Amino acid sequence: MLVPVPAGDDFVDSSRTTKAITKVLKAQWDGPYISWTDAGKVVQDRWFDTFSRDYQWAEGMIDEIRKVFATKTSKIIKSTLWKVRDKGERPRWIPEDHWDGMVQKWGGVPFQQVSARNRANRAADAAASVYTGGSISTLEHKKRFELREHREPSLFEFMQMTKKNKAGAWVNQKTTELAEAYQARRAEKEADLVASTPEGEFAVDIGSASMTTKIIGLIVGYIISLVVELALSGL
Protein backbone atom coordinates (compact mmCIF):
# COMPACT_ATOMS: atom_id res chain seq x y z
CA MET A 1 0.00 0.00 0.00
CA LEU A 2 1.17 3.51 -0.83
CA VAL A 3 1.34 6.37 1.67
CA PRO A 4 0.36 9.85 0.41
CA VAL A 5 2.57 12.39 2.16
CA PRO A 6 1.11 15.94 2.22
CA ALA A 7 3.39 18.78 1.12
CA GLY A 8 1.55 22.09 1.23
CA ASP A 9 -1.44 21.85 -1.11
CA ASP A 10 -0.06 18.78 -2.89
CA PHE A 11 1.39 15.36 -2.14
CA VAL A 12 5.11 14.59 -2.19
CA ASP A 13 4.56 12.03 -4.95
CA SER A 14 2.68 14.57 -7.08
CA SER A 15 2.90 12.74 -10.39
CA ARG A 16 1.66 9.38 -9.06
CA THR A 17 -1.23 10.91 -7.10
CA THR A 18 -2.22 13.08 -10.06
CA LYS A 19 -2.51 9.99 -12.25
CA ALA A 20 -4.43 8.14 -9.53
CA ILE A 21 -6.92 10.97 -9.03
CA THR A 22 -7.37 11.50 -12.76
CA LYS A 23 -8.10 7.79 -13.16
CA VAL A 24 -10.77 7.97 -10.45
CA LEU A 25 -12.41 11.02 -12.02
CA LYS A 26 -12.58 9.52 -15.50
CA ALA A 27 -13.95 6.23 -14.18
CA GLN A 28 -16.64 7.89 -12.04
CA TRP A 29 -17.69 10.99 -13.97
CA ASP A 30 -21.39 10.41 -13.50
CA GLY A 31 -22.87 13.89 -13.72
CA PRO A 32 -22.72 17.24 -15.56
CA TYR A 33 -20.07 18.60 -13.20
CA ILE A 34 -18.01 21.59 -14.28
CA SER A 35 -15.99 21.97 -11.07
CA TRP A 36 -15.08 20.25 -7.80
CA THR A 37 -17.69 22.32 -5.97
CA ASP A 38 -20.33 21.56 -8.58
CA ALA A 39 -19.90 17.82 -7.96
CA GLY A 40 -21.16 18.13 -4.37
CA LYS A 41 -20.13 16.41 -1.15
CA VAL A 42 -21.59 12.97 -1.89
CA VAL A 43 -19.63 12.65 -5.12
CA GLN A 44 -16.52 14.19 -3.56
CA ASP A 45 -16.63 11.61 -0.77
CA ARG A 46 -17.01 8.78 -3.27
CA TRP A 47 -14.01 9.98 -5.25
CA PHE A 48 -11.95 10.19 -2.08
CA ASP A 49 -13.04 6.72 -0.93
CA THR A 50 -12.03 5.23 -4.27
CA PHE A 51 -8.68 7.03 -4.16
CA SER A 52 -8.13 5.74 -0.61
CA ARG A 53 -8.32 2.08 -1.65
CA ASP A 54 -4.76 2.18 -2.96
CA TYR A 55 -3.35 4.23 -0.08
CA GLN A 56 -2.95 4.03 3.66
CA TRP A 57 -2.01 6.56 6.33
CA ALA A 58 -2.05 7.06 10.06
CA GLU A 59 -5.53 7.66 11.45
CA GLY A 60 -4.66 11.16 12.65
CA MET A 61 -3.68 12.26 9.13
CA ILE A 62 -7.04 11.82 7.44
CA ASP A 63 -8.19 15.44 7.79
CA GLU A 64 -4.98 16.76 6.26
CA ILE A 65 -5.08 14.09 3.52
CA ARG A 66 -8.67 15.00 2.64
CA LYS A 67 -7.84 18.70 2.53
CA VAL A 68 -4.93 18.17 0.15
CA PHE A 69 -7.00 15.74 -1.91
CA ALA A 70 -9.77 18.33 -2.29
CA THR A 71 -7.36 21.08 -3.34
CA LYS A 72 -5.46 18.86 -5.76
CA THR A 73 -8.58 17.31 -7.29
CA SER A 74 -10.15 20.73 -7.76
CA LYS A 75 -7.08 21.85 -9.71
CA ILE A 76 -7.05 18.66 -11.79
CA ILE A 77 -10.71 19.09 -12.71
CA LYS A 78 -10.19 22.74 -13.62
CA SER A 79 -7.18 21.97 -15.80
CA THR A 80 -8.74 18.92 -17.45
CA LEU A 81 -12.06 20.61 -18.25
CA TRP A 82 -10.30 23.70 -19.58
CA LYS A 83 -8.55 21.49 -22.13
CA VAL A 84 -11.85 19.74 -22.93
CA ARG A 85 -13.66 23.05 -23.50
CA ASP A 86 -10.79 24.42 -25.54
CA LYS A 87 -10.88 21.39 -27.82
CA GLY A 88 -14.66 21.53 -28.08
CA GLU A 89 -15.16 17.77 -28.31
CA ARG A 90 -16.69 15.35 -25.82
CA PRO A 91 -14.10 12.94 -24.44
CA ARG A 92 -15.12 9.29 -24.14
CA TRP A 93 -15.06 9.34 -20.34
CA ILE A 94 -17.89 11.90 -20.18
CA PRO A 95 -21.30 10.36 -21.02
CA GLU A 96 -23.18 12.21 -23.75
CA ASP A 97 -26.12 13.24 -21.55
CA HIS A 98 -23.74 14.65 -18.94
CA TRP A 99 -21.80 16.45 -21.66
CA ASP A 100 -24.91 18.26 -22.84
CA GLY A 101 -25.56 19.44 -19.29
CA MET A 102 -21.97 20.64 -18.92
CA VAL A 103 -22.16 22.59 -22.19
CA GLN A 104 -25.32 24.31 -20.94
CA LYS A 105 -23.60 25.31 -17.70
CA TRP A 106 -20.53 26.62 -19.53
CA GLY A 107 -22.77 28.79 -21.69
CA GLY A 108 -24.80 30.07 -18.74
CA VAL A 109 -24.54 33.56 -17.28
CA PRO A 110 -23.03 32.51 -13.89
CA PHE A 111 -20.14 30.63 -15.49
CA GLN A 112 -19.53 33.38 -18.04
CA GLN A 113 -19.44 36.01 -15.29
CA VAL A 114 -16.92 34.01 -13.28
CA SER A 115 -14.81 33.41 -16.40
CA ALA A 116 -14.83 37.11 -17.28
CA ARG A 117 -13.83 38.05 -13.74
CA ASN A 118 -11.01 35.48 -13.73
CA ARG A 119 -9.71 36.76 -17.08
CA ALA A 120 -9.73 40.32 -15.77
CA ASN A 121 -7.88 39.27 -12.63
CA ARG A 122 -5.26 37.39 -14.63
CA ALA A 123 -4.78 40.38 -16.92
CA ALA A 124 -4.46 42.74 -13.96
CA ASP A 125 -1.97 40.46 -12.23
CA ALA A 126 0.09 40.16 -15.41
CA ALA A 127 0.10 43.92 -15.90
CA ALA A 128 0.99 44.60 -12.28
CA SER A 129 4.00 42.33 -12.57
CA VAL A 130 5.48 44.32 -15.47
CA TYR A 131 9.03 45.37 -14.64
CA THR A 132 10.28 48.64 -16.16
CA GLY A 133 13.76 48.69 -14.70
CA GLY A 134 15.33 47.62 -17.97
CA SER A 135 18.43 45.44 -17.87
CA ILE A 136 19.24 46.66 -14.37
CA SER A 137 18.14 44.21 -11.69
CA THR A 138 15.98 45.28 -8.76
CA LEU A 139 18.94 44.67 -6.46
CA GLU A 140 21.15 46.94 -8.56
CA HIS A 141 18.48 49.66 -8.52
CA LYS A 142 18.45 49.45 -4.74
CA LYS A 143 22.25 49.64 -4.49
CA ARG A 144 22.43 52.66 -6.80
CA PHE A 145 19.77 54.46 -4.81
CA GLU A 146 21.62 53.80 -1.56
CA LEU A 147 24.89 55.12 -3.01
CA ARG A 148 23.17 58.23 -4.31
CA GLU A 149 20.91 59.02 -1.35
CA HIS A 150 22.91 57.38 1.47
CA ARG A 151 19.84 55.50 2.69
CA GLU A 152 17.56 52.64 1.68
CA PRO A 153 14.67 53.44 -0.68
CA SER A 154 11.16 53.43 0.70
CA LEU A 155 8.56 51.03 -0.70
CA PHE A 156 7.08 53.86 -2.77
CA GLU A 157 10.47 55.01 -4.06
CA PHE A 158 11.32 51.45 -5.06
CA MET A 159 8.02 51.21 -6.92
CA GLN A 160 8.86 54.44 -8.75
CA MET A 161 12.14 52.93 -9.93
CA THR A 162 10.60 49.72 -11.24
CA LYS A 163 7.01 50.56 -12.20
CA LYS A 164 7.35 53.72 -14.29
CA ASN A 165 8.02 53.88 -18.03
CA LYS A 166 10.55 56.13 -19.76
CA ALA A 167 7.99 58.95 -19.96
CA GLY A 168 7.63 58.91 -16.20
CA ALA A 169 4.11 57.45 -16.19
CA TRP A 170 3.02 54.47 -14.13
CA VAL A 171 3.13 51.27 -16.14
CA ASN A 172 -0.58 50.41 -15.84
CA GLN A 173 -3.89 51.38 -14.27
CA LYS A 174 -3.53 49.10 -11.27
CA THR A 175 -0.15 50.57 -10.36
CA THR A 176 -1.50 54.09 -10.91
CA GLU A 177 -4.37 53.43 -8.51
CA LEU A 178 -1.99 52.01 -5.92
CA ALA A 179 0.32 55.04 -6.20
CA GLU A 180 -2.55 57.52 -5.97
CA ALA A 181 -4.00 55.72 -2.96
CA TYR A 182 -0.59 55.71 -1.28
CA GLN A 183 -0.05 59.42 -1.88
CA ALA A 184 -3.55 60.35 -0.76
CA ARG A 185 -3.25 58.38 2.46
CA ARG A 186 0.22 59.79 3.08
CA ALA A 187 -1.05 63.35 2.72
CA GLU A 188 -3.94 62.55 5.05
CA LYS A 189 -1.67 61.01 7.67
CA GLU A 190 0.81 63.89 7.47
CA ALA A 191 -2.02 66.40 7.95
CA ASP A 192 -3.29 64.47 10.98
CA LEU A 193 0.25 64.33 12.39
CA VAL A 194 0.77 68.08 12.08
CA ALA A 195 -2.66 68.86 13.52
CA SER A 196 -2.15 66.63 16.56
CA THR A 197 1.39 67.79 17.43
CA PRO A 198 1.89 70.72 19.88
CA GLU A 199 3.59 73.69 18.24
CA GLY A 200 7.34 73.63 18.64
CA GLU A 201 7.57 69.94 19.59
CA PHE A 202 9.53 69.23 16.43
CA ALA A 203 10.31 70.70 13.07
CA VAL A 204 10.09 68.78 9.82
CA ASP A 205 12.50 69.65 7.03
CA ILE A 206 10.64 68.51 3.90
CA GLY A 207 13.00 66.80 1.45
CA SER A 208 15.79 66.25 3.96
CA ALA A 209 16.82 62.96 5.50
CA SER A 210 16.70 64.30 9.08
CA MET A 211 13.75 63.20 11.20
CA THR A 212 13.19 62.78 14.88
CA THR A 213 12.80 59.27 16.27
CA LYS A 214 9.16 60.01 16.98
CA ILE A 215 8.42 60.91 13.37
CA ILE A 216 10.23 57.84 12.06
CA GLY A 217 8.18 55.62 14.34
CA LEU A 218 4.94 57.23 13.21
CA ILE A 219 5.83 56.87 9.55
CA VAL A 220 6.85 53.23 9.95
CA GLY A 221 3.56 52.52 11.67
CA TYR A 222 1.72 54.38 8.94
CA ILE A 223 3.40 52.39 6.16
CA ILE A 224 2.57 49.09 7.86
CA SER A 225 -1.07 50.07 8.34
CA LEU A 226 -1.29 51.38 4.77
CA VAL A 227 0.12 48.19 3.25
CA VAL A 228 -2.42 46.15 5.21
CA GLU A 229 -5.28 48.43 4.17
CA LEU A 230 -4.30 48.36 0.51
CA ALA A 231 -3.91 44.58 0.56
CA LEU A 232 -7.36 44.16 2.10
CA SER A 233 -8.91 46.58 -0.39
CA GLY A 234 -7.54 44.51 -3.29
CA LEU A 235 -5.40 47.29 -4.77
Task: Check whether residue 36 and residue 82 sit in a common domain.
Answer: yes
Domain boundary among 91, 107, 123: 107
Say if residue 103 is in the same domain as residue 18: yes
pLDDT of residue 192: 77
Residues 76, 155 within the same domain: no
103 and 147 part of one domain:
no
Q: Which domain covers residue 176, as residue numbers?
A: 138-233
- The reply to whether 128 falls in a domain is no
Residue 126 lies in a domain: no
Q: What is the pTM of this model?
A: 0.52
Identity at 105, one-letter amino acid code: K
- The rounded distance, in Å, linking the Cα atoms of 37 and 55 is 24
Residue 198 pLDDT: 59
| pLDDT mean for each 10 residues of the chain (235 residues) | 78 89 96 95 96 86 93 94 91 94 87 72 54 58 82 78 73 75 79 65 41 46 49 46
Q: How many folded domains does the chain comprise?
A: 2
Per-residue confidence (pLDDT) for residue 152, from 0 to 100: 85
Is the residue at 197 inside a domain? yes
pLDDT of residue 222: 47
How many CA atoms are closer than 13 Å to the CA of 202, on its beta-carbon side? Answer: 15
Domain membership flag for residue 157: yes
Residue 192 CA from chain centroid, whole number: 33
